[in-house]
Structure formats: structure tokens, C-alpha cells
Amino acid sequence: MTSYHAPVTEMRFALDEIAGLPEIAGLPGYEEATPDLVEAVLEEAGKLSSEILAPLNLSGDLESSVYENGVVRTPSGFKEAYRQYVESGWNALAFDPDYGGQGLPWTLAMAIQEMWNAANMSFALCPLLNQGAVELLQAHGSAWQKDTYLAKMISGEWAGTMNLTEPQAGSDVGAAKTRAVPTDDHYLITGQKIYITYGEHDFTDNIIHMVLARTPEAPAGTKGISLFLVPKFLPGENGAPGPRNDLRCVSIEHKLGIKASPTAVMAYGDNGGAVGYLVGEENRGMEYMFTMMNNARLAVAVQGLAIAERAHQQATAYARERTQSRELGSAEQAPVKIIRHPDVRRMLMTMKSGTEAMRALIYFTAGALDRAKREPDEARRAEQQAMLDVLIPVAKAWATDLGCEIASLGVQVHGGMGFIEETGAAQHYRDARILPIYEGTNGIQALDLLGRKLLRDDGKAVNALICHMKATQEDLNGLKGPAIVSLRGALGEGILTLEAAGDYLLETGGDDMALAAAGATPYLQLFGTVAGGWLLGKACVTAAQALDGGNGPWDPGFLEARLKLGHFYAENIMPRAATYGAQVIRGGASVLALDEALL
Amino acid sequence: MTSYHAPVTEMRFALDEIAGLPEIAGLPGYEEATPDLVEAVLEEAGKLSSEILAPLNLSGDLESSVYENGVVRTPSGFKEAYRQYVESGWNALAFDPDYGGQGLPWTLAMAIQEMWNAANMSFALCPLLNQGAVELLQAHGSAWQKDTYLAKMISGEWAGTMNLTEPQAGSDVGAAKTRAVPTDDHYLITGQKIYITYGEHDFTDNIIHMVLARTPEAPAGTKGISLFLVPKFLPGENGAPGPRNDLRCVSIEHKLGIKASPTAVMAYGDNGGAVGYLVGEENRGMEYMFTMMNNARLAVAVQGLAIAERAHQQATAYARERTQSRELGSAEQAPVKIIRHPDVRRMLMTMKSGTEAMRALIYFTAGALDRAKREPDEARRAEQQAMLDVLIPVAKAWATDLGCEIASLGVQVHGGMGFIEETGAAQHYRDARILPIYEGTNGIQALDLLGRKLLRDDGKAVNALICHMKATQEDLNGLKGPAIVSLRGALGEGILTLEAAGDYLLETGGDDMALAAAGATPYLQLFGTVAGGWLLGKACVTAAQALDGGNGPWDPGFLEARLKLGHFYAENIMPRAATYGAQVIRGGASVLALDEALL
């Protein structure tokens, strides 16, 4: 019941037809991503996911990571699974070939990450955080830093971490107080960091911490933050780990979910200062963080998608197995499998169509990420980057909120069994709940969408994206069938609402930023809902055209199912857009009206 | 941060102005409920809640109930808290005065139950289940059963439980297989029951199980279910517990939440059969269950309200304390308390207005329950009973889903701290998740609303309720101010949508019950959303009139706040009605369209 099978056909469809992986594979540097290789990678990653990682998910949760005297022991089987993962070369998929990476498109890498996370989100967090550290070093590391650390972090021999948060500096990273004092060729780091995912563990011989800290004369706030590489063990002979650095794991948190993943409190410099190497230049740490932020936020969106897929698989399996009550509207008195009950079907359809919409949006966004990096034409790159920047906060927040909603539906499908931990449904519900919080809370994403993405360029990038949505609506105009008609109508209304909400915020944001911000979250939810409908519309265009013209590479039943899922989304999920639109346009003032003392 | 203070003024307002407690106190048998007594009861219960029960909530969760060799040990402090609760007479509040009860109105009792549940839901479950058992005995027990058991269960000296579920019989209670064979003056009971809340514990010297079972010649299904009283200890001398009965607790569940509350697997008759006493007549067990079902479901709705209130109190306290980031739209660079951030305010306002709407709906429903019992005029009683029957599934499902949503917002307000168990926000999120499942899943409630409440009488009772909503809209017509205008508009639209959805279901239900059932859940959510707006509208009518006419007994600031909360609800929660309406009216077919194998 807690098994996982990678939905390779659905993934392949979203990769090829929504994200345009075949085109992306034609971009310079991505030539390796041939259809055969993509197929093989998906199949092999699917195996590792279902055979090695998924079986450890529930046991990992029950056992959880354990802290004792500065040492963290991950749950049984995790270390060995990590070894297999690394030995098969999975860690290097999308990284720089000059340092041992395979240089494959991020679009494909995100699909593979969906598998790791669906199979075992706690496990997948180690590579996810390492990815951020690798990207920082790829972009800003010195030659020595790259030679000494990057190749080992790409292979997975060593693991990287991200050290941003401090007790007084959460969403406001610029409030960090950790100090970095220059000494010889390095800095001495002193301070405490919290919420450090895999800050300490037993997977690797060395752990490479990327730490934000402040030099003695640094300006206040975000402009005075520098980035340091602080290894657990200092460089030794022949690249092996040398002496222990002055840093330690103080404790790990007792959390609601992702319990197999150790969340560490880290202390730097208890004995005079941990040796840290400046990455890039002083005071540019926050700027560097932005180089990895889009990828990191998209990776968290992938986690929302992944947990939804896993919860859906588990709920469907249970609904096919569990017998209870007779069928409504049938003369037959015998009890039936609960999958036959309309209310259970509503839950499963919400889960499935929501998951498909997330996958479409996230893979499409990953495609924009690859194009923004690799399109030969500068104007095309800029266009894709602008689209990517708009989509990132939407994907992160919308997919993680929807992931939580779907995990909760997964519990509900199980009835009483959903509340019993051994069933596994409750674990997805607990694990999913971190996603709207970390890597920038969903409230922060909404403000990012409003301030940096909508207002800053006066709606230009948002409108460019809406033009793509309108193009899909045009495509739907030329086709027939109930799903198409329904999607066309819902998408049309959704786009109008999205435009009206954007206009309202553009108007309001100049005069009264607090009032605009009161509508930021429903605006983001509106955006995600409509974007999901747009891309399921795109999927339905493909499906309808393929059904008309010999199916292409797809099974006709699979294509028909795409139409039915699009239809459900149009009639049952898209109506949410009206609610969000009303909240944005009319609701803001009443958010702010009540006296603070009476809240 | 995890403290709780009973919101006595808000409760009093909802009791007096929404439920009409002063009128209810004028009904025969409720004369004791004078304003002074109500005030004193609320104050005293508030003290027990905040001083004794609330401090045990987090520790109870961490420690949880523990099972060993058939014995259950509740967490530290729980047994002593139960002793204080019983000694102060709280258990007897609404029960039959002939057996030691105080005979106070259920409306008041439900408000008091809100306190117990907000303070410590795991603790409150023991009295909640006992309540169901007491009601069954009050209504259907023999004189001997009442003399021997009822008085002790009313005082709380002994605790009652409800044994309905078996592994193959969850929502379909009629599938129960537990056997009852007549022998002398009793029956011998054999079988296994699961999910028995407080099926075994250390609060009381005896535990009185109400068990559904099937006699040898009983007809199949619900028509062959009988109800038995099966005490843990058989009657001894002078009413003291005598010999141990043939029943035992096999294990307790490892659950997502309400961990301090033991959820038992019970085995009856391992050694030949547990002695059980038939309650009422054979084969009428399911019918008897309906006598307590409205109360039990309303009590679970109260739990949804209670957990929302607790989560809101905790989130607000945190938001007043936590400093992070500068204020939007302000020139000031210094970081501020997060309660000043619009997105945090949106969350807190959603929590607070949602909680108020739930409280209004639940207390109003409790008022209908009292009136349906005590109105001297039979036609009035029938009218109130019909209204009650419509409101019960709405209150249960809408308030518990909203309770989960609010508990989740409570986590989100805390940011990273929300995911750390020691903070307590995560516990509310876990505890709340059982509420949409037990006492009839929310899907079952939706089918009850659709089938038994809407279709069975051709919409008569629903329309009678909608007339009350329209009367409130009329009242709003005579008043002024932005909150009033906004509520009037939103309520008007909501009522139209509710009527249209009801008409659609009445039309569809006759021909195609499965299609109608596909819209049952959004219909219930629509109903709850509009009913919440109606009763907040009623609150705003009172507030506006009082502000115009010297405030009545209320502080003007308190009355202004009611208007602002109503305003927020009208503009930010009522828009959900449009989404639900569209789902009911257009969405059903696509729920059922996808081939089962492809779900």
C-alpha cells in the first residue's frame, strides 16, 4: 500500500508535449539528451525510486534520524541507499561536465527529482540541498574551491548544505549576525545557524557548508552579507578530509514530518572560529544566493508535485482494495470497492488532475529555465528568463499548497485508516506541510510575485506570459468535444480574472503597497490555478490533435484520459479562480481594517 | 505560547445574540439557566480549561497514552485532571436531573464543550464519548440499567464508550459481525471492535461499553443490529464494580494526532462471551443510535471550532511576539512584529472570522436542538427538528474541514517554528485531522445532507432554512455602513447560488443519484459557507443596531470588531460560494467520466 511506481508515461508526456524536451535537447550543450537516453534515464531512475528509496520511506519516518553527542545517525538503510544512488551516478545529472557532471537538461533533472521525492522525500533532501551548494560554487567558486570541493559534491562523495537561517533571521535573511573575520587566506566564522537540512549526517565523509555571514565592516542588512564555504573537515592530503573544522551540530529538531531528514542546529566557532573560504567577493552573498534561488524554489515545487503523486497512488490503491457500502443508484445490495463511490471519485479526480496540472506547470517552468540558460539568441534568453522569474514563485507556492491539499485528501480517502500512522497516508500529510514554509514561505513567494515580478516592470513579463495562455485558448478554438469546450470557457474566464486582478494590483501597488500586499496570496493562487488550466489546456490540444491524427506515440486511452482530466480541472478546479479574483480585487481593505489589538 | 483563555465575551455574544439562550432559558425545564448562572458557568469552566486542562495538552501529546498487557496509562496529570473535572460536577451539565444531571440547555453545554476541546481535545474525548452512551441509556435503558449505570455515568464516576466500528464495518455500520447470543437474563457477546475512543483507560473504576452486535436470527444489514451495554466489571455489591467481564483491550493505535486519547482495539468474548445487557429491543440498535447522532455530530463540529479557536490564539500570540522584516509601504527600516505584515493579517483574519462563523453556526444549531426538545408547541418543535436535521451534517463537515484549514494556517503563521513539535502549532494541525473522519466522514455527512435532508422531503426543510437567511438579509437592508453593504451583497449572491445548487440536485437526484452525489461535498461546503455568512450577518445586524442604540450590554469596540469580521468574511470567505456552486451545478459529470482503471 505504501509502494511507489514512477508514472513514466505521464512524465514523458509532460516532458515532451508541455515542456518541449525534444526542442530543449536541440539547444547547445544539451545534445546528449536524446529520446533513447531520456527513456533509459526515466526507467532506471524509476527502478531505484520504487525498489530502493520508496521501501525506506515509512521505516525512515518511524525510526527518524537520531542525534547523540554531535553525531547524527540516519535511519536504517538510508546510508546504503545513498551509496547506491551515488554509485549509479544520479547525483551528477544536471551539473557541470567540467567537474564530472552529465550536463543534462534541468527539465529532465526535475522529472528525476520528482521520483526521488515521491519515493522518499526525506532522503531526497540531501541531494536537493547539495544542489544549491553546487550551483553556488559552479557560478562563483574560485578555481581552487572548484578543484577541491566541486567535483566531489557533484559526484555525491561529499554533500553540501545551505546555512542561511538564524533564530532572528528567517524570512529576513539580511538580519543574519554570524561573523566572519579575515585571517591569512581564510576567515574565521562564529555564530549559530538553525534549520540546516542534513547539516550533519552519516552519508558522506565530509560535509561542505555554504554559510552566510557578515564581515567586521560590512554594511547593515542584505548588502553586508557574504558567502563562505566552511567544510566539516579541512582539506587534507590528496584531497582526503583533513583536520576537523571548528563547527558542530548542536542538536536536531523534533519535527512534524520529514523525520528521516536531520534538521540541524549548527554552531560555528565555539573554539575561536571555523575556517571559512570566501566565495566570490565580500558583501555579494545575497546576490549569489539569487543564482540558485530559482532552481531551489522549483525543486521545492517538485516536492509538492511528488508528494501529491505519492499520496494519489496510495489513495487509489486503497480505494481499489477497500470494500464498503453498496453502490449509489444501483439495485445491487452488495458492498463495492470504495472507488465506485462518487465522493471518493471526486477526491481521487481532484488529486489526479491537480497532480497533472502541477506537473505540467513545473516541467514547463523547468523548460523555461533551460531555455533561459541555453537559447543561442540573447533576446530569446531574456524572454525565457522573464517568464521563468514570473513562474517560479507561482510554481513554488501554488504547487506546495496544492500538495498539502492533495495529501490531506489522501488521508480522507483512507477514512479511519488514514489517521493510523502505519498506513503511511498520514506521513505524506505531515511531510508535505513543510513545503509551504521552507525556501521562502508561500507568503514571501506571493510578495515576490507581486513586487518583483508584477509591479517592478509594470506588468510586462506577466502580460507576456498571459499572451502564451491566450495562444493556447486560440488553439482550443479550433477543436471540438466537451473537454475542449469546457476548458476554453474556463480558461477564457480565468484569463480575464487574472488580468483584472493584475490591473487592480498595478493600480493599487503604487499608492498603497500594504493594500496590494493584502491581495498577494490570492493573486498567486489565482495565477497558479489559471496557469494549471492553461497547461492542461495545452495537453488537451495535443491529445485532441493526436487522436485526430493517428495518436502520435501515445496510446489512445491515455490521450482520452488527458481530455477527461482537463475537463474535470476546467469544471471543478478552475472555478476557484473566481474566488481568488474577488479576494484580490475587493478583499484587501477588510484584511487590514481590524485593530491589531483585536485580532 | 500554548496557553488558552476561553473567549467568554465572544461566546456570550454568540449564545445570547445568535443562539438566543435567554429565550431558550425560558423553555420548560431550562429555567435554571439564568443569566447569572450562565455567566458563572462560563467563568468557572474557563478557569478549569485554562488552568488545568490546557497545560496538559502539549505534554499529553508528547507522552501519549501507553498500552501494556491490557492496561492503558494516560499521560501524566490526566487522571488527576479528570478527578477535578468530575468533582466540580462538570460531567453532569446537560443530563437528566432524575439521575443527578443538572439539566442545563445543550446550547450552554456545547459552549462549555468548546472550552474543554480547545484546552485539550484528547482529554475532552472521554466525556464526549460518555455523552453518547448516557443519551442512549437515558432514552432507551431499562429502569435497572439506569439505576445501576446511568447515575454513575452522569456524575463521571464511570465512563461510557461507543463500540460501533469493526474492521469490515466502518461507514457501513450495518456490516457489523459481532455476535450476541441470549443466555438467561443477558447475552454473550463475541467479536472485535476497533477505533474505540477511551475503550480502556485509568480515569475510572469501571468502563461501560455500548456495543452494537447481531443476535443469532437477526436480519442482514442495519435492520439486524442490536445495542448492548457491556460493562468492564459486572455489577457487584452495593453498586461497586464486581467480577471482571470477558472483554479486553488488545492494543491502542499509533495515531497522527489526539495521542493522549487512547484509541482501542477491543476483544469481546475470548473466553466464551462477554456479558451484555440488551438496551431496548432487539434489532433496533441502529434506530437508537440516531437518538444520539445529532448531539454526537454537533459535538464533533464543536471540536472543529475549538481547535480553530486554540490555533488562532496561539498564532496571534506568536505574531505579536515575533519580529521579522520591515513594514511594507513604510519608510521605517526597523523590523516589526509580523502581525503588521498584510499577509499575516490575512491569515489571522481568515482564522478569526472563520472561527466566529463556526461558533455562530454551531451555537445556533445547538439552540435548534434545545428548541426541538423543549418548545411547548408541537409544530414549533417539528420545525426546529427539521432545521436541526439540515444543519447537523453542515455543521459537522463544514466546521471540521474549516478547523483543519485554520489549524494549517496556524502552522503557517509560525513559519519554520510551526514545523517544530515543541511549538504546539503542529499538534493542532495533527489533532484536527481526525475530525473530518470520525463520527461519519465528511463525505457521509454530504450524502446525508443530499439524500436524507434535501431530497427526501423535496427541499422543504432546506427552503425553510433559506427563508431564515432571507429574513436576515431583509434586516441588513434597513442598516448602513460598508460591512452591512458588503454582507448584504454577498449573502444575496450566496443564497441565490445555494438555491440554484439545491434546485439542480433536486432535479438530478431523482434520475441519477450518482451524478447528484458527485456534487454532494461542494453542496455541503456551499451550504456551510453561506450559513456562516448568514449568521455573521445576524451578528452584524445586532452590532449595528446596538451601536445605534446605546450598545446594549456590549462594549462599542467589541461591536465594531463584529462588523469588521463580518466584512472580511463577506469579501474573502463568501466568494468561495461561487466556486462550490459551479462545482455542484456543472462539475458532476466530469467527476464520474474517467475510467476507473485510469484513476
Q: What is the pLDDT of residue B550?
A: 83
* Nearest-neighbour CA in chain B from A256: distance (Å): 5
Q: What is the pLDDT of residue A67?
A: 98
Quote the ipTM score.
Answer: 0.98
pLDDT digits (tens, 9 = 90+) for B137-151: 999 999 999 999 999
Span A391-400, mean pLDDT?
Answer: 98
> What percentage of chain A reaches a pLDDT higher than 90?
97
pLDDT digits (tens, 9 = 90+) for B304-320: 999 999 999 999 999 99
- Measured between beta carbons, which residues in chain A are less than 8 angstroms from residue B433? 408, 411, 419, 426, 429
Span A251-273, mean pLDDT?
Answer: 98
pLDDT digits (tens, 9 = 90+) for A360-377: 999 999 999 999 999 999
Query: Hey, are the CB atoms on A343 and B408 less than 8 Å from each other?
Result: no
- Count each helix (H run) and each strand (E run) in chain A, helices first: 20, 14
Query: Hey, are the CB atoms on B352 and A521 less than 8 Å from each other?
Result: no
* Nearest-neighbour CA in chain A from B208: distance (Å): 23
**Residue B365 Cα distances to A107, A183, B385, B526, angstroms:** 53, 72, 10, 17
- Helix H segments across B141-274? 143-145, 151-155
Query: Hey, are the CB atoms on B339 and A599 less than 8 Å from each other?
Result: yes
- Confidence at B157, pLDDT banded by 50, 70, 90: very high
Lookup: cell for B320: 505579536
- Integer Cα distance of A122 and A261 in angstroms: 5
Q: Which of A323, A564, A596 sits opposite B590 (nearest CB)?
A: A564
pLDDT digits (tens, 9 = 90+) for A11-42: 999 999 999 999 999 999 999 999 999 999 99
Best B171, B571, B584 member to test A by mutation, with max A CBs in 10 Å, is: B571
Lookup: cell for B376: 411547548
Q: Which of A434, A515, A590 sits opposite B564 (nearest CB)?
A: A590
Nearest CA in chain A to B510: A329
Q: Which of A419, A441, A583 sits opposite B415 (nearest CB)?
A: A441
* Nearest-neighbour CA in chain A from B87: distance (Å): 33
- Confidence at B329, pLDDT banded by 50, 70, 90: confident
Q: What is the pLDDT of residue B390?
A: 98
Span B93-97, mean pLDDT?
Answer: 95
3-class SS letters over A438-451? CCCCHHHHHHHHHH
* Nearest-neighbour CA in chain A from B500: distance (Å): 16
- Measured between beta carbons, which residues in chain B are less than 8 angstroms from residue A434? 419
Residue with cell 439505576: B147
pLDDT digits (tens, 9 = 90+) for B42-68: 999 999 999 999 999 999 999 999 999
- Reported as type and span, the H/E element at residue B305 is helix B285-321
- Measured between beta carbons, which residues in chain B are less than 8 angstroms from residue A446? 343
Q: Which of A343, A348, A592 sits opposite B520 (nearest CB)?
A: A343
**Looking at the predicted structure, is the pLDDT value of residue B480 above 90?**
yes
**Residue A370 Cα distances to A366, A373, A374, angstroms:** 6, 5, 6
- Confidence at A346, pLDDT banded by 50, 70, 90: very high
> Known catalytic residues of A?
439
Q: Which of A346, A408, A578 sits opposite B579 (nearest CB)?
A: A578
DSSP state of A91: G
Q: Which of A434, A564, A587 sits opposite B572 (nearest CB)?
A: A587
The SS3 of residue A29 is coil
Query: Hey, are the CB atoms on A408 and B433 less than 8 Å from each other?
Result: yes
Q: Which residues contact B157 (CB under 8 A, 6 or more apart)?
A: B86, B204, B205
- Integer Cα distance of A16 and A60 in angstroms: 34
* Nearest-neighbour CA in chain A from B309: distance (Å): 12
Span A574-592, mean pLDDT?
Answer: 97
Q: How many CA atoms lie within 13 A of B238 on its CB side?
A: 0
Q: Which residues pair with A190 in a beta bridge?
A: A179
Query: Hey, are the CB atoms on A438 and B421 less than 8 Å from each other?
Result: no
Q: What is the pLDDT of residue A47?
A: 98
Q: What is the pLDDT of residue A239?
A: 87
**Looking at the predicted structure, is the pLDDT value of residue A418 above 80?**
yes
Nearest CA in chain A to B438: A416
Nearest CA in chain A to B258: A419
Q: Which residues pair with B337 in a beta bridge?
A: B323
Q: What is the pLDDT of residue A336?
A: 97
- Measured between beta carbons, which residues in chain B are less than 8 angstroms from residue A481? none
Q: What is the pLDDT of residue B2?
A: 76
pLDDT digits (tens, 9 = 90+) for B12-42: 999 999 999 999 999 999 999 999 999 999 9
- Confidence at A329, pLDDT banded by 50, 70, 90: confident
Stretch among A349-353, A569-573, A595-599, B529-533 having the lowest mean pLDDT: A595-599
**Looking at the predicted structure, is the pLDDT value of residue B439 above 90?**
yes
Nearest CA in chain A to B591: A346
* Nearest-neighbour CA in chain A from B562: distance (Å): 10
- Confidence at A109, pLDDT banded by 50, 70, 90: very high
- Measured between beta carbons, which residues in chain B are less than 8 angstroms from residue A515? 342
Closest to B248 measured CA to CA, from B263, B275, B277, B270: B270
* Mean per-residue pLDDT over chain A, rounded: 97
Q: What is the pLDDT of residue B94?
A: 94
**Looking at the predicted structure, is the pLDDT value of residue A551 above 80?**
no
Best A255, A258, A590, A595 member to test B by mutation, with max B CBs in 10 Å, is: A590
- Integer Cα distance of B153 and B76 in angstroms: 23
Nearest CA in chain A to B585: A571
- Measured between beta carbons, which residues in chain A are less than 8 angstroms from residue B517? 328-329, 341-343
Q: Beta-carbon neighbour count of residue A548 at 10 Å?
A: 10
CB pairs under 8 A between A and B: 274
* Nearest-neighbour CA in chain B from A410: distance (Å): 12
Best A324, A521, A571, A573 member to test B by mutation, with max B CBs in 10 Å, is: A571
Query: Hey, are the CB atoms on B194 and A416 less than 8 Å from each other?
Result: yes
Closest to B488 measured CA to CA, from B500, B474, B501, B467: B474
* Nearest-neighbour CA in chain B from A443: distance (Å): 6
Q: What is the pLDDT of residue A516?
A: 98
> Known catalytic residues of B?
439
Give the global pTM: 0.98
Query: Hey, are the CB atoms on B419 and A257 less than 8 Å from each other?
Result: yes
Q: Beta-carbon neighbour count of residue A12 at 10 Å?
A: 18
Lookup: cell for B426: 503542529
Best B327, B591, B592, B595 member to test A by mutation, with max A CBs in 10 Å, is: B591
Span B446-463, mean pLDDT?
Answer: 98
pLDDT digits (tens, 9 = 90+) for A174-189: 999 999 999 999 999 9
- Confidence at B437, pLDDT banded by 50, 70, 90: very high
- Measured between beta carbons, which residues in chain B are less than 8 angstroms from residue A447? 328, 343
Q: What is the pLDDT of residue A423?
A: 96
Q: Which residues pair with B231 in a beta bridge?
A: B208
pLDDT digits (tens, 9 = 90+) for A128-164: 999 999 999 999 999 999 999 999 999 999 999 999 9
- Measured between beta carbons, which residues in chain A are less than 8 angstroms from residue B575? 578-579, 582-583, 587
pLDDT digits (tens, 9 = 90+) for B206-230: 999 999 999 999 999 999 999 999 9
- Confidence at A2, pLDDT banded by 50, 70, 90: confident
- Contacts of A317-326 with C-beta under 8 Å, sequence gap 24+, read A317/A1, A317/A3, A318/A1, A318/A413, A318/A414, A318/A417, A318/A425, A319/A344, A319/A348, A319/A413, A319/B599, A321/A1, A322/A415, A323/B168, A324/B168, A324/B170, A324/B171, A324/B172, A324/B175, A325/B171, A325/B172
